Amino acid sequence: MSTLSDLVLAQGRSGDDDVNWLHMLVQDAQLLADLAFADIVLWIPTTDDSFVAVAHYRPSSAATLFYRDFVGQRIKQQWRSQVTEAFETGAIVDSSAPDWYEETPTRVRAVPVLRRLRSSSPETTDAPIAVLTRHTNLGEARTPSRQELTFNALAGELFTMIAAGDFPDLSAPAGPRRGAPRASDGLIRLDVEGVTTFASPNALSAFNRMGFVEELEGESLAEVTTRILPSEDLVDESLPLVVTGRAPWRTDIEARGVTVTLRAIPLRHRGTRTGAIVLCRDVSEQRHQERELLTKDATIREIHHRVKNNLQTVASLLRIQSRRSHTDEARDALSQAMRRVAAIAVVHDTLSEGLTQDVDFDEVFDRVLMLVAEVASAHNTTAHPRKTGAFGVLPSEYATPLALALTELVTNAVEHGLNGLEGSVEIEAQRNDERLTVVVRDNGAGLPEGKVGTGLGTQIVRTLIQGELGGTIDWHTVVGNGTEVTIDMPFRWMKNR
């Protein structure tokens, strides 16, 4: 299914600013559906004077009228004239008689969507950019409760604000949607002075759990919040603006081990604030889980940091031992072991700095290449390493064996291919969605065609690439001189992430 942006732009009558406004609107479309106890459909105009649905939200507070999604469909003939009238006049249009849909009587309201040009100015677009329709089921008519009457009234106020360009609010920050309170979680209606005129049972229960045992209605929400919050706690500076309904922000309050997130939606009529909706949700368990995850992340990073330190200590011990060795063979073996340990330490060092178990392998490899200078100096060689292409971000399952394998290949190119000479070592990385290909080539002495080394380094590379990474590796001599090694690895792990 196409995204909202694709559907809107495909009609050729809307710009990027319109798309951004509609994205902000549909972020609260579920709230509108829940308050109105009705299906909400957003329509945008087409070049042939019709309309296409770009969003459809069903109420969680009532049964849906439409079991099939309208997104991407052209408007039905029975609603076209009403939606066209709302679009052309810029006024809310209600159906004059029950609209029948599959033998179910419904009431349809068409609301024009105007876009505010700037948050600091009341100016709006000259004409609507879309039309929102509300489809209410009249087949289950019954005496509504006080909560239903309040919810419907608030929905009506928000629809009026949409038609005036006052909703959504451009000054509202783009906060995370995870854990955001919904109408069913708890709703408080405030008047212009910040006094509670209605509190849903769930909202009252949330404040009861924080220690407020009286009725919320008739109380200033700011004063109630001040009473229940521990005096020694630091208060979020946005809290007063949220609990008075003066700003469209979101904040958390915590008391008695209970955390409740609050979101304020100021209500306006012709630009003048008339009150606010405050949505509240008990997120104690979610905040507890988030704290646990943060603790685990910190623990994992600390483990990687300590592993890195321990590996660097081992590398230092190997370096010291190699300097005290009396034979060249022992010295070379210990130096090679030191470089292998150091390459693994680089990966753990990178993992200790991030919040995920993925690493920017280009950064890792740049640090691994620094080991080449030490290898070259030990063999009276002048090496010019050069990397082209990009490895990108890789999971740690790839990063550690790949770093170790490439360390071996680059070391071999400098130590054996360019031994005592001046030359270049080029590392070329090519990546797509399916695989990673790495070529390591030097312009040194080269290998006899068809003969590959049998040393420990070659065995390590084969084991890592073929065994751990499930890839292939190929050695061959470049025409003229030099050696070229090609590694090809499928992203078998990445597909399961």
- Taking only the tens place, the pLDDT of each residue in 64-105 is 888 888 899 999 999 999 999 999 999 999 988 887 777 788
Q: Would you state the pLDDT for residue 176?
A: 61
Q: What is the 3-state secondary structure (H, E, C) of 2-58?
A: CCHHHHHHHCCCCCHHHHHHHHHHHHCHHHHHHHHCCEEEEEEECCCCCEEEEEEEC
Query: What is the mean predicted confidence (pLDDT) over 481-491?
Result: 84
Q: Would you state the pLDDT for residue 80?
A: 93
Percent of the chain with pLDDT over 90: 34
| pLDDT surpasses 90 at 199 | yes
| pLDDT surpasses 90 at 217 | yes
pLDDT for 400-420, tens place per residue? 788 888 887 887 777 776 766
Number of Cα atoms under 13 Å in the Cβ half of residue 112: 23
Give the closest residue to 158 by CA, choosing from 288, 301, 267: 267
| pLDDT surpasses 70 at 177 | no
Round to whole Å and give the CA distance between 321 and 333: 11
Hey, which of 257-261, 289-293, 362-366 has the most confident mean pLDDT?
257-261
Query: CB of 165 within 8 A of CB of 48?
Result: no
**Longest Cα pair distance anywhere in the chain, in angstroms?**
101
pLDDT for 294-320, tens place per residue? 677 677 777 777 777 777 788 787 778
Q: Would you state the pLDDT for residue 262?
A: 93
Confidence of residue 497 (pLDDT cuts 50, 70, 90): very low
Of 308 and 31, the one with more pLDDT: 31
Bridge partners of 385, per DSSP, are 425
Confidence of residue 179 (pLDDT cuts 50, 70, 90): low
Round to whole Å and give the CA distance between 54 and 41: 8
| Average pLDDT across the chain, whole number | 83
Of 102 and 355, the one with more pLDDT: 102
Kindly state the helix (H) or strand (E) to which residue 383 belongs, with its residue range: strand 382-389
pLDDT for 182-197, tens place per residue? 999 999 999 999 999 9
Q: Among 59-63, 74-78, 421-425, which is the least confidently predicted range?
A: 421-425
pLDDT for 121-155, tens place per residue? 888 999 999 999 999 988 776 778 899 999 999 99
For 163-229, list the strands marked E by DSSP. Answer: 187-191, 196-199
| pLDDT surpasses 70 at 493 | no
What are the tokens at 272?
Answer: 């003048």
Q: Would you state the pLDDT for residue 454?
A: 60
